[in-house]
Amino acid sequence: MGVMRIGHASLKVMDMAEAVRHYEKVIGMKTTMQDKQGNVYLKCWDEWDKYSLVLTPSDQAGLNHVAYKVQHDADLDALRQRIEAYGISTTMLPEGTMPATGRMLQFDLPSGHEMRLYATKEFVGTDVGSVNPDPWPDDIKGAGAHWLDHCLLMCELDPETGVNKVAENTRFVMECLDFGLAEQVMVGPDSRIQAATWLYRTTTPHDIAFVGGPRRGLHHISFFLDSWHDVLKSADIMAKNKVRIDVAPTRHGITRGETIYFFDPSGNRNETFAGLGYLTQPDRPVTTWTEDHMGSGIFYHTGELVPSFTEVYT
């Protein structure tokens, strides 16, 4: 079936001890592994593979790569052919390039972000197990995020020069990786410029999102919570830990997510959100937001765009 879901994000952090403290104590992940290069691997309690986040020591913030898991090892060969035929070069990284992880198909999206696909990662099980499980484990810390859910990548968009990496990425992931388009923001004369897109492989509104901006970057990685109350509680945890909150709890019109945005200690934006939105299906009509309603699409209650939300990213 090809791509199943987001598998992990690899983030650059400038202070490893602070970063680990944040992702353990605030997000509620657990460290599962460290390697000789000083990279730290973490997972959420409801995830069954060995890690979903890799922190790498760096002199800057931002995304190294984002990886998606495919169902079968043979999918990697089939997808490689399709991606190469599309005109994008790929590299097959051998098993063990990343610890506990099988071979990985590495390539750059049209926007320049590095993406990797893999089929196998060491199975460790969720914290409640798979036989007669409790609904949640007893040792949840912080927000107690269930899983890494999606990421939003900022892609170069300049209508004056005709550069639109949002549209290019969208076309690529739909044609080569079989993503479906759930929602889009259309701007400009006759609403012809695709300025932002939300795409899915699962049955939820987004597994990846692309938004236009002046330069390539990472807007956020997002973690799933059960309910609106959990979003509120995660805000309490951020206040307790003096975490820089970007957008206090609210709802998105786009995807209907209940959300809070904040920054990790290196300035990488995180989201914890609740609400699976709606059931995405290949025959579901694409939701379109027009430029005059973009504010409501992003923050449904106020309908107002927050400059830092679109201008600040790593």
Query: In the complex, what is the shortest distance from the CB of residue 307 to another protein, in angstroms, rounded to a whole number?
Result: 7
Sequence-ordered list of residues with C-beta below 8 angstroms from that of 17, at least 6 positions apart, any chain: none
**91, exposed or middle or buried, with CB in 10 Å at 0-12, 13-18, 19+?**
exposed
- Spot the catalytic one: 206, 219, 258, 313: 206
Complex with another protein: residue 205 or 265, whichever CB lies closer: 265
Among 110, 213, 257, 265, the residue binding another protein under the rule CB under 8 A is 265
Give CA–CA dist 283/180, Å, rounded. 9
Verify binding: residue 15, another protein, rule CB under 8 A. yes
* Residue 32 structure tokens: 């599962």
Verify binding: residue 268, another protein, rule CB under 8 A. yes
Complex with another protein: residue 10 or 194, whichever CB lies closer: 10
Complex with another protein: residue 139 or 304, whichever CB lies closer: 304
Residue with tokens 């492989």: 201
Verify binding: residue 271, another protein, rule CB under 8 A. no
Verify binding: residue 87, another protein, rule CB under 8 A. no
CB 272 within 8 A of CB 259: yes
Known catalytic residue at 271: yes
**Of the candidates 56, 22, 14, 12, the residue with the CA atom closest to the CA atom of residue 36:** 56
Give CA–CA dist 173/200, Å, rounded. 10
**Of the candidates 151, 268, 279, the residue with the CA atom closest to the CA atom of residue 207:** 151
Query: In the complex, what is the shortest distance from the CB of residue 221 to another protein, in angstroms, rounded to a whole number?
Result: 13
Known catalytic residue at 278: no
Known catalytic residue at 150: yes
Known catalytic residue at 160: no
Strand 114-118 to strand 147-158: parallel, antiparallel, or no bridges (unpaired)?
Answer: unpaired
- Spot the catalytic one: 47, 183, 258, 271: 271
Known catalytic residue at 252: yes
Residues found near another protein in the complex (CB under 8 A): 14-15, 59-62, 244, 246, 263-269, 307-308, 311-314
List, by residue number, the catalytic residues.
150, 206, 220, 252, 261, 271
